Structure 1
Amino acid sequence: MASGLTLDTDPAEVGLDAGRLERLDRRLARWVDDGQLPGFLVTVSRHGRLAHVGRYGSRDVENGLPVEEDTRWRIFSMTKPVTSVAAMMLYEEGAFELTDPIAKWLPEFAETRVYVAGSAQKPVTQPQVEPIRVRHLLTHTSGLTYGFHHAHPVDAMYRAMGHEWGTPPGVDSAEACRQWASVPLVFQPGSEWNYGVSTDVLGRLVEVVSGQTLDVFFAERVFRPLGMTDTSFGLREDDDVDSLARLYAAVPGQPGGPATSFAPIDAMGEAAHRKPTFLSGGGGLVSTAADYLRFCEMLRRGGSYDGGRLLGPRTLAHMVRNHLPGNADLETFGRPLFAETPLRGVGFGLGFSMVLDPARYGGVASVGDYSWGGAASTAFYVDPVEDVVVSFYTQLLPSSTLPIRAYLRALVNQSIVA
């Protein structure tokens, strides 16, 4: 299998210092050597040219399998931007308006109540004042949540139904939406930001509107035009299981050692060995670094890559601007819960977070750089000011274990010298 990660240029030709880029690899490798990270792969591109690929450590520690350029990774929530792009492709075809209530296609959400008080067993609810609209799904302002938050009575209601880090056995996206619609929303749609299953519901909307299952829509409308040959919902029948990195979870370190170490979680990890019943638009894809770099380059180039145009540039520009009311950041408008981004100085658009205020954000970054990440510590960002694309892959849950994303920006930015 061709890796597709052929270096396009000497770093100096695109204003990057090769010696300074080595600092990035050394910092990441230190976590591997300290026993805090199994292994990693990182890519840095500028002006559309791949200037740096770093990899180190193992994709499967116990079996001595190294990280390779064609290693497959569970990208979890890095699936969300793909689903958001798919939805906006349909928007561009006139299939819906962003202000349309989703109950037009998913009628189960028409009567979903809104939590106001009480416990998970006896919630006090009220009707929706504002219906869930398509834009609420894209911006995570729908009032939907995640069972793994453990922060609200509605989260507990999700868990009681079997929705925490997955869905109950045999439940597809249609049934999952019916189940989520049967419990209250955390807040009135549009009134707050909360990371949750909004993008999974958006994936179901794509299915209903397009008349195709999400895997078929992605394969025909997104992956094929971009040349993404190794991205799918779980492994395909002819894929080598050993190409998929093992999934690990952080565990407390031993006294005198690093703060954390890791252990395999095969019961969860093996779910990606085959196509699942539930095609999760919020987190179901496995991919390679080369494939996802094609998707990121499509974003950087305004909706087109390698002859395949998915979106118009104005649509893409609309997606990566802040859509929170009053240009608020996530700390102001959101709930202080786990998310794949810091909250201070960061806004949210249609499927992406973006840096609004680098000083408030707390690190070197460009205004408008946009990104997202996955639960197993994968991440990407696109910096339209410096014309840089960075992607990072490992398989360590949760993504908050190590400050990888902050170091990525700091160490890539310090390598930009022209």
Structure 2
Amino acid sequence: MGAVAPALQGLVDQGALSGMVTLVWRGGEVVQSLAIGKRDIAGDLPMARDTLFRIASMTKPVTSIAALMLIEEGKLTLDDTITRWMPEFKDMRVLKDPAGSLDDTVPAARDITVEDLFTHRSGLAYGFTSMGPIAHAHEAKLGSPLVNSLSPDAWLKALGELPLSYQPGERFHYSHATDVLGFLVARIEGRPLGEVLKARIFDPLGMSDTSFWLAPGKRDRLAKLYEANIDGSPLKDVSFPQTDAPSAFEAGGGGLISTADDYLKFARMMLGRGEVDGVRLVKPETLDLMTANRLSETQREHTFLGMPFWLSQGFGLGVSTILDAQKHEWMGAGAAGAFGWPGAFGTWWQADPANDMILIYLIQDSMPLGPEAVTAMQGQRPTGRIGGPMFQKMVYAALA
């Protein structure tokens, strides 16, 4: 794997990325750890193994594990309708055309279930994955998908007032579903999601650097978020502002900050079918249920962010799983059964049971998250995004 570092350094030298931290864990030990480039270009601060990253949608599997723990305890089931705890989603309307008028709707054929939230088949949306009026309505009523001044109750009320893009259960449409799942967990537990995750996951696994809010003493370790321009001009610092106190809005779909080693602990628990270092969070059969594909063949025919994402993969209860390793070569590397879920800022991880291996790749490369941003994603992508697939392919080639 000696060729990995020079290849990734090349992306930094080109100005495509500020830097990255990567880990390769196999057979019980970290076999490679890289920290390349800068976490803060203007401050001339280098990337380090303990650099903190906004992991965006890598948050989703964490929230999903918390919800699965409640399922094991009998506090909810996959078949439960969420209106039992969230009356905000009673009597939902569904757009006749996902890109059409917000007034042209039909009644939802059924209520949203807990499983619908896990699998993004709720009919809910993100502004950035939608087109037309519903995309702009998300921005106007809800604000940013990651940083929000609304309380959870106010946000849920606003979301429930928007029509669904699709009928519940109809198709995978990437959305705020995991945010809703996180707030559902919080309502059942009677305390904020961050407290639930800390008590149930972070403290038991020793994930002391993972949270929704960063205390002042740790902020120097946070990697800046940069925007790369297609014209090759210097990276632009677009980092989120820091707050003096934790926000009431804790996005279970994308709000966590973490490190490579902290997330490795979570990934090892996942690879260990719910257990790591003598600490068990969920039963093996629960983890197996989580990683098994739940999308139908018809649902997998749809594109995701303009790509044939499901050509080689399925989606379970909060993670994607490789179903065909050969077909997966177009976008990365991994054996059948390998699973994970990436983040919008280029963060990525994968646990591969067949090879007893975990890969973690962390960068801070901003992407559009405004209304209709899915159209921008279908065009030319910044050069830095090739680093993830390159990292994967080079690691797997070294195993051959």
Letter in 2 for 1:405: G
Evaluate the alpha carbon distance shift between residue 336 and residue 241 of structure 1 in structure 2; reply closer, same or farther with a 3 A threshold: closer
Aligned to 1:244: 222
**Of 93, 107, 113, which aligns to 1:127?**
107
Aligned to 2:391: 408
Shift of 1:119: 6.7
- 1:28 pairs with 2:1: no
In structure 1, C-alpha distance between the alignment counterparts of 2:322 and 2:117, rounded to whole Å: 20
Map 1:36-115 onto structure 2 (within 5 A).
36-115=16-95
1:51 aligns to what SS in structure 2?
Answer: strand
Aligned to 1:378: 347
1:195 aligns to what SS in structure 2?
Answer: coil
Aligned to 1:293: 264
In structure 2, C-alpha distance between the alignment counterparts of 1:264 and 1:178, rounded to whole Å: 33
1:81 aligns to what SS in structure 2?
Answer: helix
Map 1:325-344 onto structure 2 (within 5 A).
325-326=296-297, 330=300, 332=301, 334-337=302-305, 342-344=309-311
Map 1:147-162 onto structure 2 (within 5 A).
147-162=127-142
Letter in 2 for 1:213: P
Map 1:250-329 onto structure 2 (within 5 A).
250-254=228-232, 261-266=234-239, 269-271=240-242, 275-326=246-297
After TM superposition, the structure 1 stretch with the greater mean CA deviation from structure 2, 121-130 or 292-301, is 121-130
In structure 2, C-alpha distance between the alignment counterparts of 1:159 and 1:146, rounded to whole Å: 9
Evaluate the alpha carbon distance shift between residue 273 and residue 408 of structure 1 in structure 2; reply closer, same or farther with a 3 A threshold: farther
**Of 114, 117, 129, which aligns to 1:137?**
117
In structure 2, C-alpha distance between the alignment counterparts of 1:81 and 1:208, rounded to whole Å: 19
Gaps of 5+ in 1: 1-20, 255-259
In structure 2, C-alpha distance between the alignment counterparts of 1:123 and 1:271, rounded to whole Å: 38
Map 1:179-194 onto structure 2 (within 5 A).
179-194=158-173
- TM-score norm. by structure 2 comes to 0.91
Evaluate the alpha carbon distance shift between residue 189 and residue 261 of structure 1 in structure 2; reply closer, same or farther with a 3 A threshold: farther
After TM superposition, the structure 1 stretch with the greater mean CA deviation from structure 2, 271-280 or 103-112, is 271-280
Letter in 1 for 2:171: E
In structure 2, C-alpha distance between the alignment counterparts of 1:381 and 1:63, rounded to whole Å: 31
Evaluate the alpha carbon distance shift between residue 168 and residue 244 of structure 1 in structure 2; reply closer, same or farther with a 3 A threshold: closer
1:373 aligns to what SS in structure 2?
Answer: coil
Evaluate the alpha carbon distance shift between residue 67 and residue 84 of structure 1 in structure 2; reply closer, same or farther with a 3 A threshold: same
Shift of 1:384: 1.0
1:252–1:261 CA contact under 8 A, matched in 2: no
In structure 2, C-alpha distance between the alignment counterparts of 1:137 and 1:393, rounded to whole Å: 26
Letter in 2 for 1:386: N
**Of 188, 199, 210, which aligns to 1:209?**
188
Q: Which runs of 4+ in 1 moved over 3 A?
A: 117-122, 164-168, 271-274
1:45 aligns to what SS in structure 2?
Answer: strand
Shift of 1:274: 5.0
Name the count of aligned residue pairs: 384
Cα deviation, 1:281-315, whole Å, max 9, x if unaligned, reads 00111111111110000001111122221111110
Letter in 2 for 1:100: D
- What fraction of aligned residue pairs are identical, expressed as a percent? 35
- TM-score norm. by structure 1 comes to 0.87
After TM superposition, the structure 1 stretch with the greater mean CA deviation from structure 2, 57-66 or 151-160, is 151-160
Cα deviation, 1:3-38, whole Å, max 9, x if unaligned, reads xxxxxxxxxxxxxxxxxx122222211100110000
- 1:390 pairs with 2:359: yes
Aligned to 2:177: 198
Shift of 1:413: 0.7
The Cα RMSD (Å) is 2.1
Shift of 1:160: 2.0
Letter in 2 for 1:125: T
Shift of 1:329: 6.5
In structure 2, C-alpha distance between the alignment counterparts of 1:194 and 1:414, rounded to whole Å: 33
Shift of 1:241: 1.6
Cα deviation, 1:59-117, whole Å, max 9, x if unaligned, reads 00111000011111111111101000000000000111101101111111111211113
Shift of 1:187: 0.3
In structure 2, C-alpha distance between the alignment counterparts of 1:97 and 1:83, rounded to whole Å: 15
1:345–1:360 CA contact under 8 A, matched in 2: yes
In structure 2, C-alpha distance between the alignment counterparts of 1:156 and 1:113, rounded to whole Å: 17
In structure 1, C-alpha distance between the alignment counterparts of 2:192 and 2:159, rounded to whole Å: 19
